Amino acid sequence: MQAETGSMDVEVVILGTGLREAILAAALSKAGFTVAHLDYNEYYGGDDASLSLDELRKWARERSEPPHTSNYLSSQRARFTAVSSSWEAVHAQARHFSISLSPTTLPSVGPLIDSLMASGSSRYGGFKLLERVALYDKPGYVKMVPGSKEDVFKSSELGLLDKRRLMRFLMFATSEFEDKPELVGHEDTPFVDFLRQTFSLNEGASIAVAYALAFNTTTSDTTLPALQRIRRYLRSAGRYGPSPFLVGHYGGAGEVAQGFCRLSAVHGGIYILGREVTSITTSEIPAPPSSTASPRTRYTLALQDFPEQLSCDVLISTHDYLDPSLKSQATRISSDRPSQAIARCIAVIDKPIVFRSSQFSNSQGASEDETDGSTQVDTALLIFPPSCLEAGSSTAAANVLISGPQAYAAPEGHFLLHLSMPLVEPTSRTAEELLKPYLDATLSMADAGRETSASESQPIRPSHTLFYVQHLPTPPSPSDASQSLGSLFVPPSDETMLSELSDSAATNAETTFWKVVEKLKEIRRIKRESAETEGDKSVEEPVVDSFWPPISDTTVVDQDW
Amino acid sequence: MSKQFQFKLVLLGESAVGKSSLVLRFVKDQFDDYRESTIGAAFLTQTVSLDDGTTVKFEIWDTAGQERYKSLAPMYYRNANCAVVVYDITQTASLEKARSWIRELQRQADPSIVIALCGNKSDLSARRQVSQEEAKKYADEEGLMWGETSAKSGEGVADIFTAIAKKLPLTAPPSARGGAARPGASGKPGGVDLNKQANAAGANEPCNC
Amino acid sequence: MHNVKRVQYSKEVLEARKQRDQARLKQYLALYDRVFDKRKNADFSQEAFNSTTSLLRINSELYTIWNYRRNIMTNGIFPSSEPSKVNSMLNDDLELTFELLKQHPKIYWIWTHRRWCLEHVPDGPTDDDPKGWKTANWKKELFVVEKMLNADARNFHAWNYRRYILASMDNPPPQTSELAYTTKKIEANFSNFSAWHQRSKVLQSLWDEGKIDERSSREADFELVRNAMYTDPDDQSVWMYHAWLIGSGNDLPLLRREIQSIQELLDEQPDSKWCMESIVRYKKLILRNHASSLSAEEQEKLRSDCSSLLVTLEDIDPLRRQRYRHMKQELLA
């Protein structure tokens, strides 16, 4: 990093500190490249951030006000719409909430866990095992979801033949099924149909498998991807406990992003939050006369309230920071993600949710834990399959992630509800209209307390609620995708499914990493070829063999004094 | 059986006051005149043994340069049991900055956090701009510990960390006792240590496959 | 540069480790010789005792040295010790073996040494309370074995040991709570022969003593085992338990009902060898015990059903072909 006439010179500038970009920043810094990482917001995490109650309120306000000059905010306003909220007066412990903008459950086996461990970032954060997944049954009641042999055995809701069939399916789902006769030809069949026809699962079991094991979000979700998800999750079960999923402390994705950013900083990454990028200019540096290389691009960024300009060889950015002309220049690494909108709701309650099952196991000599089939939960997932609520959707499933003090998401005695549902068709209904029935159904399960009996208990009301629709950036068209590699990269968008989001961020970060590294190596080579930089360490040939370099034992020093 | 404690200690202060040098002196007993900002470690640990046999293990977090553009993450302050706010005795401005860091701590960190104000570069007393009296007065007003150090000569470094080590156990939360896993990480029920797989022994085969 | 440094570091570590291991091996061999010498010389001193501790910590499989240790206690130290000292030494050995069992849960000699310690707890602490120490130790022991079973519910030694403790206690917990314990273990993972086995013993004892109603209890367990069977027809322990429940096969309607249930499972899962095998076994039981209530045709049908099942079994389970052939021959005799 050399100061050249008021400009900070780095190899890479990354705009946006979402989970994917945070992982990328850490990997690039660890690989030895100079990185400056920026975010418009004063907090880390971007669209994946963990926010306190007050920060969330501010976030909502910023996105509902009229258009703004900054690219970032204009883009955010276009992407977060139909914002409505109901906010009680100031909460005494507003600071102790960690509310995620991207609620996610992290599979115990997968790319994100691998990255957490291989990078060393796992030391920064804590995780909690997801306690339960349940399916909504009727007001106040859920059905437990059997996901293991033990669950199937104990279930009192499945008949004998149903148990056999479900087990047969589960064993199939953990096998290498890609070429098996049961699947061949049915890869694109809607998954629920496949389960009923090929495995003769009854309606209840098919719904449980499709929406609470595979986490399908619509009735048209196809078989092959659903099976692949189930296999991944079944393989994750047991690693840290019965559930395949972990939920990160302090809001999950946002905290994990902070950890990766810190890792990047420790390896030299420069962090600048809370500044608007006022301009991005592209310039071309001609190749030295002796070289056969083509001219290379440089980007120069001006930031508000910042003394120096930033200049870099490679610019990585999410869509929100780029104006249309830059977007058209960008190498957009494609993915198969269809663009989709999601209706979301965040609610704060001060009573715990209780999962009450209308039927429960009652074996002879049963242990005393489940005397009435109900359990209070702190960190759990509630699924509403399509058509389970009269006022709800018949084509989309909604899910509710419940998190409380044990996940450090809320102070003692308080819980967060994160609802989300994909918008399958265009609709004129607001997020609030779409999700209110689901919120009310969830609230019917709050434990009003022992003093009130079931008949006289009033449904509880949240102290704070926020509704909005999140639109995802439109994916590049096939013609955009196959450009020659410039120096401006827009990473692919992540999966929005709650159980896939974090792994998708890690995979996308790695895909982008390799493309960027290729470009950076090329640039260093060009620089080396020009005589001016002889002996300059910063243009040495980088050795990048893997996404994360091996952790040397000397990073943590431990001596007795 | 002698008592063991583990604490998270965070460093704060302007760049160039010598925070990293201070830690390096404490942990590795080294000093490097030309060392650039950060150490390149996630955090460093150092254990102090007190006279009564108690051992106090510090998990020391350096800012990694994130303080430079006000970009310290909330994660930095999380569950920090103590903070060492460093200023340079040869730069008055750095004491001003230290005051704002202390306000930041009072805002972001746990109310029971032990704060030590540390005047570094005491070997450069010829160029002193911040008097001991004024610094000590401020420390007393705010209820902070105070001391002067020289990372270069080593003077005062052991003293200040030992003083912190003596004070912390008196105010420590239960989770810090026993040299347990990182404070806060597995404090609540259900906390998972990513490096420790569950006790399988055949107990969790999903399908007996 | 990054990678080069790492390779050097590893090499150094490896070399250092090699040196350490060689030194350790030398130490062990020297200790081994020392202890065996002492034993040869019938050394029953405290020092000899301590040296067996060191040796056994490194290698817990030395049966001879466990024996030697007990000899030292019985012939050397106990005769001149107060009962409280004896109790205290035995408690120390219980702690030692617990530590060792955590690392080596299946070394038989560690278990036997524990038993010996428990059996030699002296009367005490006082004349009025001669069983005090013993009771406390047995209670603690039950807790220890539960911990072992939590770590590995299928540890055959641990289950055996559990039965031994329950049998040795003056006031064991009631059989009904033991029944609940087996339920808990089976629900957690029913692929556990030892848990089913224990359950069968407990139930039999409860039935024999008239403590619970046999009929409804059997019914409930048929329900339990049927659920297990349908969940995983390949689990052998489930079928063995079912066979135990069937017993001698004197109840014809019961046999018929169970055969029907297994047949339905077989229809759903046509390749299940345990289903086929059980149907054959139970139909044979009918033939053997209830021939008088069957017509000639019915008997013939049963025989041919079994035959054809056995033919299929020979095919899908070739390792046991001889057995199935033998069974077929028995049928026709």
* Nearest CB to A556; choose among B44, B198, B205: B44
Chain-chain contact of B201 with C191 (C-beta, under 8 angstroms): no
Domain that holds residue C148: 81-172
- Residues C84-130 pLDDT 10s: 899 999 999 999 998 898 888 888 899 899 999 999 999 888 888 88
Q: Are C96 and C141 part of one and the same domain?
A: yes
Q: Do C52 and C104 belong together in one domain?
A: no
Would C57 be classed as within a structural domain? yes
Is the predicted pLDDT of residue A171 greater than 80, yes or no?
yes
Cβ-defined contact of A131 to B28 (cutoff 8 Å): no
Tell me which chain A residues have a C-beta less than 8 angstroms from the C-beta of B38. 265-266, 268
Residue A109 contacts B, CB cutoff 8 Å: no
Number of domains in chain C: 2
Per-residue HEC secondary structure of chain C comes to CHHHHHHHHHHHHHHHHHHHHHHHHHHHHHHHHHHHHHHHCCCCCHHHHHHHHHHHHHCCCCHHHHHHHHHHHHHHHHHHCCHHHHHHHHHHHHHHHHHHHHHCCCCHHHHHHHHHHHHCCCCCCCCCCCCHHHHHHHHHHHHHHHHHHHHCCCCHHHHHHHHHHHHHCCCCCCHHHHHHHHHHHHHHCCCCHHHHHHHHHHHHHHHHCCCCCHHHHHHHHHHHHHHHHHHCCCCHHHHHHHHHHHCCCCCHHHHHHHHHHHHHHHHHCCCCHHHHHHHHHHHHHHHHHHHHHCCHHHHHHHHHHHHHHHHHHHHHCHHHHHHHHHHHHHHHC
Q: CA angle B30-B32-B35, nearest 5°?
A: 130
ipTM for the predicted complex comes to 0.87
CATH homologous superfamily for the domain A7-52+251-338+478-548: FAD/NAD(P)-binding domain (3.50.50.60)
Residue of A561, A559, A555, A558 lying closest to A267 (CA atoms): A555
Give the tokens for residue A510. Answer: 């790695």
Question: Can you tell me the mean pLDDT for C127-138?
Answer: 88
Q: In terms of domains, do C106 and C59 share one?
A: no
Of A11-15, A251-255, B22-26, the one with minimum mean pLDDT is: B22-26
Contact: C151, B199; criterion CB under 8 Å: yes
- A553-557, C63-67, C288-292: least confident range: A553-557
Residues C86 and C168 in one domain: yes
Is residue C205 a part of any domain in this protein?
Answer: no
Question: Is residue C6 domain-shared with residue C43, that is, in the same domain?
Answer: yes
Whether residue C163 is contained in a domain is answered as: yes
- A148-236: CATH topology is Guanine Nucleotide Dissociation Inhibitor; domain 1 (1.10.405)
Using alpha carbons, select from A491, A509, A489 the residue that is nearest to residue A27.
A509
How many A-B residue pairs are in contact by the CB < 8 A criterion? 157
Where a domain ends, among C172, C202, C223?
C172
Q: Quick check: B192 and A128 CB within 8 A?
A: yes
Q: pLDDT value at position C20?
A: 87
* Arithmetic mean of pLDDT over chain A: 87
Q: How many CB pairs under 8 A join A and C?
A: 72
C22, C45, C71: which is the final residue of a domain?
Answer: C71
Whether the Cβ atoms of residue A9 and residue A248 lie closer than 8 Å to each other: no
Residues of chain A with CATH 3.30.519: 79-96+126-146+242-248+340-471
| Residue in chain C nearest A149 by alpha carbon | C231
Q: Please indicate, yes or no, if residue C65 is contained in any of the structural domains.
A: yes
The predicted-structure confidence for A45-104, as pLDDT tens digits, reads as follows 999 999 999 999 999 999 988 767 788 998 898 889 888 888 887 778 888 999 999 999
pLDDT of the residue at B3: 76
Whether residue A555 has pLDDT greater than 50 = no
Share of chain A above pLDDT 90, in %: 64
Domain closes at, from C172, C192, C216: C172
Binned at pLDDT 50, 70 and 90, residue A367 comes out as very low
Check: CB of residue A62 under 8 Å from CB of residue A38. no
CATH class entry, domain A79-96+126-146+242-248+340-471: alpha beta
Pair C6, C85 in one domain: no
Asked if residue C93 is part of any domain, the answer here is: yes
Question: CB of B30 within 8 A of CB of A559?
Answer: no
- The string of pLDDT tens digits covering residues A4-14 is 447 899 999 99
- Per-residue pLDDT band at A557 (split at 50, 70, 90): very low
In chain B, the domains with their CATH numbers are 4-176 (3.40.50.300)
- Is C105 in the B-facing interface, judged by CB distances under 8 Å? no
The answer on pLDDT for B39 being more than 80 is: no
Is C85 found in the same domain as C46?
Answer: no
CB A195, CB A169: distance < 8 Å: yes
- Rounded to a whole number, what is the distance in Å from the CA of B198 to chain C's nearest CA? 10
Distance CA C235, CA C248 (A): 22
A-chain residue closest to C3, CA distance: A543
Model pTM score: 0.85
